Amino acid sequence: MKILGIETSCDETAAAVVEDGARILSHQIASQVAIHARYGGVVPEVASRQHLLAIIPVIERVMTEAKAGWNDLDGIAVTIGPGLAGSLLVGVNVAKVIALASRLPITGVNHLEGHIYANWLSGQCPSFPVVCLIVSGGHSDLVLMKDHGDYQLLGRTRDDAAGEAFDKAARILGLGYPGGPAIEQAASRGTATIQLPRAWLKGSYDFSFSGVKTALLRLVEAGQVSSVADAAASFQEAVVDVLVTKTIAAAREQKVKQILVAGGVAANRLLRQRLKENSPIPVLVPELILCTDNAAVIAACGYYRFRAGKTDGLDLDVVPNLRIA
Ligand code: KG4
Ligand code: ZN
């Protein structure tokens, strides 16, 4: 089954053709990062305009690269949320036009659910039940997944998402945007010597990262940060410590077979390493390129939705604040 995936939820215009939810035949990402970097973050109206300019060429490229015509496809999967309404609308409307003109079935995919499917595209086949840590720019969710499409939310952030915290910390330290990779790079030159607070929220699998960010800001304002590299390493250490400890605790309590990690922050090497070192339960991590936003994961998730008969009509609409469970 060949699925065309389309993703335009934030600042990447992406398309991919994926076979049977596991083999990537082609995938392309037109990134807007350089444009938004000037403003220190994503500007929604600029993002939708860029999606409009990029979406058709990106889809044409993946179809050529996959050596596929519309007749070779079995369906279209498109992100409907969560994300920026104006950006999501570009992908959803283009997907509907192709579906109508080519008589192809369409399915709307939850972006966060899509992120999880990076784990099925990295040459690995997860075994249920799993606990999945989804950490992106907008979300930090700890989810119990018992089967395809069967999610139970165990915990979520009460304030900043993990990626958002990395982005804000990078801004505080003058490291630019996007903050996650910038913090990681600076941290590689430093040592985690500064003690920053961790919000454990005992008895809950929820997260909170605004305290550690504010503590960093206070230190910078007080002129107490002499090494940006050490501050970046200390911040990364504090965030990773909480993510790893809570994920392993949840996986043990739920007695799952594996732990999966997904979303942009899953690209963080310290997070990947610490989870693997400390977990008694096997940990699967996606390929780096599949952690951040892309359409291959949307196509993979779409494949399982089609298999379960979850086809949508042409009245499919965007849901900017969609949740996973
Ligand atoms: O999943 P994603 O590409 O987009 C959203 O759905 O939000 O995640 C983007 C987030 C950004 O906040 C970015 O700073 C963070 O993921 N990120 C990282 C790393 N690479 C991206 N955070 C920490 N370490 C990284 N290497
Ligand atoms: Zn994402």
HEC letters along 247-304? HHHHHHHHCCCEEEEECHHHHCHHHHHHHHHHCCCCEECCCHHHHCCCCHHHHHHHHH
Domain shared by 58 and 181, yes or no: no
pLDDT of residue 177: 86
pLDDT at 63 over 90: yes
Q: Read off the pLDDT of each residue in 194-198 and give the average, rounded to a whole number.
A: 97
- Ligand 1 atom nearest residue 166's Cα: 14
**SS3 at position 303:** helix
Residues 206 and 278 in one domain: yes
Amino acid at 150: D
User: Half-sphere exposure of residue 145, counting CA atoms within 13 Å on the CB side?
Assistant: 25
Joined together, the tokens standing for residue 301 give 């998730």
Distance of CA 276 to the CA centre of its chain: 19
Name the least confident of 38-47, 48-57, 239-248, 254-263. 38-47
**CB atoms < 10 A from the CB of 275, how many?**
23
The span from the CA of 238 to the CA of 243, in Å, is 9
Of the pLDDT bands very low, low, confident and very high (cuts 50, 70, 90), residue 41 is: confident
Ligand 1 atom with least separation from CA of 293: 3
74 Cα: distance to centroid of ligand 1 (angstroms): 31
Q: How much distance in Å is there from the Cα of 194 to the middle of ligand 2?
A: 30
Residue 131 covered by a domain: yes
Spacing, Cα 293 to ligand 2 middle (Å): 5
Residues 14 and 111 in one domain: yes
Q: Which ligand is nearest to the CA of 161?
A: 1
173 pLDDT exceeds 90? yes
Mean pLDDT of 192-203: 97
Q: Structurally, how many domains does the chain consist of?
A: 2
Q: How long is the chain?
A: 325
pLDDT grade for 40, boundaries at 50, 70 and 90: confident
Q: Whose CA is nearest to atom 21 of ligand 1?
A: 264
Considering every ligand atom, which ligand is closest to the CA of 139? 1
Q: Is pLDDT above 90 for 197?
A: yes
For residue 315, is it within any domain? no
For the chain, the average pLDDT equals 97
Is residue 314 assigned to a domain? no
- Percentage of the chain beyond pLDDT 90 is 96
Question: pLDDT of 82-96, one tens digit each?
Answer: 999 999 999 999 999
Q: What is the CATH number of the domain that holds 148?
A: 3.30.420.40
Protein residues near ligand 2, an ion, with CB under 5 A: 136, 293
Whether 271 and 230 map to the same domain: the answer is yes
Range of the domain at 23: 2-117+291-307
Question: What pLDDT digit, counting tens, does each position of 94-141 carry?
Answer: 999 999 999 999 999 999 999 999 999 989 899 999 999 999 999 999
Chain segment 251-310, per-residue pLDDT in tens: 999 999 999 999 999 999 999 999 999 999 999 999 999 999 999 999 999 999 999 999
Whether residues 231 and 181 fall in one domain:
yes
Q: Give residue 84 CA to ligand 2 midpoint distance, Å.
A: 11
